[in-house]
Amino acid sequence: MNRIIPYLSIEKIAMHGYGLGFADGKAVFVPFTMPGDCVNVSVSLEKKDVIFGTADEFIHVSDLSQIPQCDAFGSEHACGGCDWLMAPYQTQVEWKTELLRQTFEQLNLSKKVRDTIVSPKTEFYRNKSFLPVGRNDDGIYFGMYERYSHNVVPHKRCLLQPPVMDEILDEIVSFAHKVKLEAYDEVTHKGILRHAGIRINKKQDEILLILVTKGSKFPFTKQFIQTMITSFPQIKGIVQNINRSVGNVILGDEDKILFGVPYLNDELIGVKFRLHYKSFFQVNTDTTELMYKYLKQSLSSDDIVLDAFCGTGSIGLCIADKVSQVHGIEEVPEAIADAGHNQKLNSIKNAVFHQGKVEAILPDFMKRISFSAVILDPPRKGVESSILLAIAEQRIPQILYVSCNPMTLVRDVRVLLESGYKVEKVTPFDMFPQTWHIETVVQLSLA
């Protein structure tokens, strides 16, 4: 029987969205709780200084608490998609600002952190979702993974994605039941369907559907295509991605275009984009536009900008009409192909995109081009220190660092501070409402 901590008072919000209380001289982290809650906690993991547990019973509920409008939230086996549905949105935003200030306190920069820029949409904002497939006695179903688990929690309606995505998933399930399509089993490695992915553009008049399968076999393909495009004429492409591996990576290296094209068309602050199904694009279009306008305002007309980790060229192309030149670098071939296409689509002449790893291309760039600003928008793992040191060595006047991971962001900012830069301001943008995640732009200049 698990150890129980009775009457734990939740005092604050911690990283990863946990409510934090204290017992027996240790910090106790409890998901789906908030300051003002008093709970009985079932201990799931205990270490020297910390305890992790779940709320078995709420003795008192915070005065700020609201009833979550999702059956899959906060239950014993809760969906891991949302952290804070029990909190009003403005409270969530205040928590995010405070968490970021606490993170930057280790650099004595908490006062540089501005208030979080709120998301225009707090629900149904995601333009992309990949959902794993589960199975029960009734057949397959879609859901989200339970936190720190590969148990698929079913849901009927997700508050983060547009309702049409749920309707598409329901149609896939209905078809699967009719043809007895089997879900992939991670233990036995049997079954066919592993994930379903959906991308949708801002106008919601173009949709991409991606089916991730264990092998190349997908029964009744023609019937499936006809069913989907009849029910959802906005579907512009259906892609079968084949992932033969036994790991937890979602996409494999093989794919087949079952219908239409593997991309859709979208727009950001007046710039048009073609997006391949594999290409990175921020999931909250409205907040992305606010962030890109902010980046644009931070630059001047004579700037020569290096757009590292440029993806489909979204940042570089959105700032191109403000600056002198843009040079983008991106490793993913499909994304760089999109960037080149998007450049031509918008008749932009002062942007050039290069395919390859930033650390491989950057040294030669530095010899030939005198950059006045660098935009860094890396994956969650952050930027290699060698890249940061190469930028610092060239004494590039301004750095705009875009990050979705506060921990790696602070680590990398520390390197830049030690290399002769200073932080002008830290601006958080709420890219991910209902979750603890935050997008941040740090503006640095030479000290």
Cα separation of 165 and 149, whole Å? 23
- Give the HSE-up count for residue 291: Cα atoms under 13 Å, Cβ half-sphere: 32
- Both tokens of 142, joined, read 């879609």
Q: Which of 33, 11, 34 shows the shortest CA–CA distance to 22?
A: 11
Nearest CA among 61, 23, 11, 24 for reference residue 39: 61
Q: Which of the residues are catalytic? A: 404
In angstroms, the CA 182 to CA 194 distance is 9
d(CA 222, CA 170): 18
Could you tell me how far CA 191 lies from the centroid of its own chain?
Answer: 28
Query: Does residue 424 contact residue 443 with C-beta atoms inside 8 Å?
Result: yes
Q: How far apart are CA 31 and CA 325, in angstroms?
A: 46
Place of tokens 């993170």: 103
